[in-house]
Amino acid sequence: MLSTEPGARPGVRLLALGQRFQKFIVVGLIGLAVNQVALWGLVGQSEVGLAVASPIAILLSMVVTFLLNEAWTWHDRGRGRIGTRALLYGTINSGGLLINAGLLLFLEREFGVHYLIANLVGAGVAAIWNFALNHVITWRS
C-alpha cells in the first residue's frame, strides 16, 4: 500500500487515501448487507418496531465492520491496544448510527420511503462521517 504518512508526497498520500477508502467501501458493503438482512429479519419477519430494529442492525454491522477494517483497511496503522481502537470505533460509529437511524426514520415517516431504501440513504451519509473520523482518530498513524 502506498503511504499516507505526512512525509510522503501529496499526490502519493492522496492516492493511498483513495485506495484505503476503496477498501473501506468494500467493508462497508459487507456491513451494509449484514445491516439490511438484520433489519429485514427484525422488521419484516419478527415485527420488531423500526426504531428498535435499526440500532440493533447497525450495532451488529459495526462489530463486523470493525473486525474487517482492523484486519484489512487499516491493518498497517493500528497501534496500541485493540480494545482502545474498538472503543473509539464504537464511539465514532455511534454518531454514524444516529445519522443513519435518524435519516431512516425521517425518510420513512415523512416521505413514505420503504425502510430498506431509507436505510441505504442513511448508511451512505453515515459512511462519510465514519470513514473521515476513523481514519483520523481510530487508526491514526
Contacts 24+ apart (CB under 8 A), 53-57: 54/100, 54/101, 54/104, 54/105, 54/119, 55/97, 55/101
For residues 14-34, average pLDDT: 92
For residue 110, name the pLDDT band (cuts at 50, 70, 90). Answer: very high
Q: What is the pTM of this model?
A: 0.80
For residues 127-135, average pLDDT: 91
